[in-house]
Amino acid sequence: MQGSSHLGSLSLAQQAIIHEYGQQLVADGALHHRSRHAGVDPPADRGEHHFPADFIVEYINQTRGWFYTLLAVSTTVFDSICYKRCLSLGLILDAHGKKMSKSKGNYYTLRDLLEEGYEPLAIRYLLLSTHYRRQLNFTREGLTQATHSLKNLGDFLLRLRQSKPIEGYNQTLGKATKDAIAGMERALDDDLNISPALASLHQLVKEVNISLERGEVGEKNMSEVREVLDKFDRVTGILPPVEEESLDETVRKLIAERESARRNKEYQKADLIREKLRRMGIILEDTRDGVRWKREP
């Protein structure tokens, strides 16, 4: 740093500050920031189009380190702040409430979790489920719960796609849909308060499921619900993809045979076929729109 031509115009006191804080900055793994903010081989425009940054992000323990370091270097060299806002994250803790760290060996890598069979969306859901300022206990139990929540969302999305709309418009569901999007926006506008936003999402899913069960969902209702889900997913990216799987011919025939038995009021036979399908990993659900199936998790 002492050899930089940009530092030559600074006083000895300023150079001493840059040297002291610059070493801390490198130690904190932020050399790319140093090159932008401390004048090490700066571009011709000195990075004005990147400067100052809108915000800087790190977890709470780093506030003592390079948050201050960047400010000290930037104000000394450029007489300007280098970021407008500071976003400080809470800690991620293990199952025993201890801070995860390499030195303690109590942390998971993404690869570890994927190799254990956890879905990427479940990991994302769990990480998003706690406000960024709060501490998060990252546990396998939490991942299992996240997986269950995503499965419920996936089942709902598939049900919504497969359901046939009625004529007309359900005013009550329309209001619930508007309340849901308002609740989500209000929560996210409140310092990205994700928990109430997720609660609004799950409440909407509950309301739509009830209306679907009663056969009270119109085409416009479905369109509004899809729009809300779309907006929420563009922000969070947690909704699972909906893929309608195909069935082999044997299973198709069994489902058709059971439907025929139900129409003929041969309920014992229908129950036996349902149980046979369950043992094959196929779960049936009788609805107003006909029978739906899904694979047993």
- Judged against a pLDDT cut of 80, whether residue 118 lies above it is answered with yes
CA 149 from centre of chain: 12
Share of the chain above pLDDT 70, in %: 72
Rounded CA separation 20/158 (Å): 59
Taking the C-alpha atoms of residue 10 and residue 14, their distance in angstroms, rounded to an integer, is: 6
Whether pLDDT at 191 is above 70: yes
Of all residues in the chain, what percent carry a pLDDT higher than 90? 24
CATH classification of 110-236 is 1.10.730.10, yes or no?
Answer: yes
Residue that is written with structure tokens 């085409």 in the block: 219
**229 or 253, higher pLDDT:** 229
Indicate the SS3 state at residue 122: helix
The domains of the chain are located at: 5-89, 110-236, 249-295
Mean pLDDT of the chain: 78
Cβ(105)–Cβ(215) below 8 Å: no
268 phi and psi, to 5 degrees?
A: -65, -45
**SS3 label, residue 249:** helix
pLDDT at 145 over 60: yes
